[in-house]
Amino acid sequence: MSWGLPEFTPEKRKRAVRAVGVVLAALLLVAGLLWVLGAEQRAINAMEPGKRAVVFQQSFASFETLCGGYSGEALMANCRRQARFLRLFPECDGSCRSEVSRYVGEATR
């Protein structure tokens, strides 16, 4: 009984199964990548608020010391990395965002 569906040859069936497999593999890869990229944000969000505030304050003080003035090209990559990290914290308010914006864009978290 065909139910109005076209008949598939074994070769067409194999190609369809391969195509579905490739699409599923790509979706799993993207999902895994997104999960890994969000791990740091999840870890920060899971911290007890008092401890998170201390980590933020220490990290921000280090960032200001190292990157607050002109840091030069030698420290640019490190300042970008620290700025991206600081933006993950809920404690990064307007003044924090203003400071880190020189090293990273103001895209939403």
pLDDT by residue, tens only, the chain of 109 residues: 556 667 778 888 888 889 889 888 888 888 888 887 788 889 999 999 999 999 999 999 999 998 877 667 778 888 999 999 999 999 999 999 999 998 887 544 4
Structure tokens at 91: 């404690």
Q: Is residue 109 part of a domain?
A: no
Contact present, 62 and 107 (Cβ < 8 Å): no
How many domains does the chain fold into? 2
Q: Is residue 4 part of a domain?
A: no
Q: Is residue 108 part of a domain?
A: no
CA dist 41 to 2, 15, 32, 53, 108, Å?
51, 40, 15, 14, 13
Rg of the Cα atoms in the chain: 24
| pLDDT score at 107 | 47
Report pTM: 0.66
What is the distance between the alpha carbons of residues 14 and 79, in angstroms, rounded to a whole number?
51
Distance of CA 23 to the CA centre of its chain: 23
Co-location of 73 and 89 in the same domain: yes
